[in-house]
Amino acid sequence: MGAERLFSPGVLFTDFAVLSALLLAGQLLRARLRWLRAWLIPSALIGGALALAFGPNGFGWLPLSDQVRAYPEILVVLIFAALPFGSALGGWGRMKREVGEMFCHVTFGIFAQYGWGMLLALLALNVFWALPPGFGFVLGIGFWGGPGTTAAAASGFEAYGWHDALTLGLTAWMIGVLVSIFVGTLLLNIQARRGRLVFSGTASGAAADSDVPRAAVGWKTISAQSMESLTLHLALIFSVALVGWLGSQRLREIWGGPSIPAFGLALIAGFLLRPLLPASRADRYIDRETVRSISGAATDYLIVAGMAAIEAPRVVEYAAPLAALLAFGVLLSLFQALALGPRMFERNWFEKSILVFGMNTGTLAQGIMLLRIADPEMRSNALGIYGIVDLAIKPITLGMVVVGPLLIGSGYALPLAAVCSALTFVPLAAAKAAGWWDSGRRAP
């Protein structure tokens, strides 16, 4: 991406200054163009589109370095480090149910993308095109997994002589990102026009941003003679994020392979620290709105940096079957969001479903972006619930990446597809057995 430059403070400053200018340009365009507000397009998405068009992967006019591709991973850690201090989570009984609902919903999507995607390729697409046995696996590694998962799976397929997995997986990921942006935004607009966005504060985004009632982004909780209140909150969030970051690196060194993601460990560290604050009377120094503002700012930068890092690989040979496979993936994700979401989530079904839809078709950054539009202040707790679930599903996703290429390369593609497809019904049955399934609820 762009010209190779060694990391330096100057590079970091230039990158974030450019990202800041793009956010500002996005806000100015949103203020001037009414249709952008009417379609609920956030300023960060507009800035991201400018980064994609004029950055290193577009016309190359913006002085962004190669480091920009690493910023989303860091910003996600900050967002999750802030969640325990900016969210008002309910009691464990409520929390347990919401985590269970999300776990069942997410695991259905994982097994369906891998299992049904492989069955489609092996039993249907192979009738028209001579495809390698791992072709259907691309849907899971590209749509659900993303670049990191694609690279890991591709290395496994390389050992068996299939060299196209990386290119196809990255292409699927890029197309999925575009789908998550445009289809996800369309879903948001439909719900907004029906007045069913609970946390958005308005059923229409056409009003000027200046017309929104002004509210405090936070309250000072400490004397400025001691420390600026914003500094205190930044120090807290960065400290918790550092625990997650260093912990993930240390576990990777110990295990010598994939590790628990840094954002997951940061979330755990935050949840462990939060109950200790009242005991030490330190909770009076923490202002929830300030934490939310910091998390929201990190999300804005994440969206722009994530879109600036999108690379479009070239695909020719597999264009037609890949289009059919990805079209199936989009329909599957829509089915999961609009048909299963209302039945599996008792509260805030759309906010949770749109978050998972973004991840099903793009990455966590896209899921957060869509959730941010539906729930600007993150009051649904959907992201915090998913952060806990991500730790539980990590063995599934890592196991799929490690075992999948091994079994497919050894000639067991069809049995693997059959097992994964059968496993899609397990979370649905578990949700029904636990009383979390309501067949009477439907998407309005």
Q: What is the pLDDT of residue 94?
A: 60
Q: Is residue 261 part of a domain?
A: no
Q: Is residue 428 part of a domain?
A: yes
And the tokens for 326?
A: 């990805």
* pLDDT single digits (tens) 159-213: 778 888 887 887 888 788 888 888 988 898 888 887 777 666 544 455 556 555 5
Evaluate if residue 263 carries a pLDDT over 60: yes
Instruction: Give one word for 62, left, alpha or beta, with left for phi > 0 and alpha for psi -120 to 50.
Output: beta
Q: Is residue 253 part of a domain?
A: no
Domain that holds residue 422: 9-205+295-433
Domain count, the chain: 1
* pLDDT single digits (tens) 155-164: 788 777 888 8
What is the rounded CA–CA span in Å between residue 246 and residue 352? 29
And the tokens for 16?
A: 């974030």
Q: Is residue 287 part of a domain?
A: no
What is the rounded CA–CA span in Å between residue 376 and residue 201? 9
Q: What is the pLDDT of residue 383?
A: 85
* pLDDT single digits (tens) 7-58: 688 899 999 999 999 999 999 998 888 888 777 677 888 898 899 889 887 8
Q: Is residue 123 part of a domain?
A: yes
Q: Is residue 384 part of a domain?
A: yes
Q: Is residue 210 part of a domain?
A: no
Mean pLDDT, to the nearest integer, of 269-274?
88
And the tokens for 429?
A: 């049955």
Grouping H, G, I as helix, E, B as strand and the rest as coil, residue 198 is: coil
Q: Is residue 26 part of a domain?
A: yes
Evaluate if residue 116 carries a pLDDT over 50: yes
And the tokens for 282?
A: 């330190």
What is the rounded CA–CA span in Å between residue 58 and residue 103? 38
| 136 alpha-carbon distance from chain centroid | 22
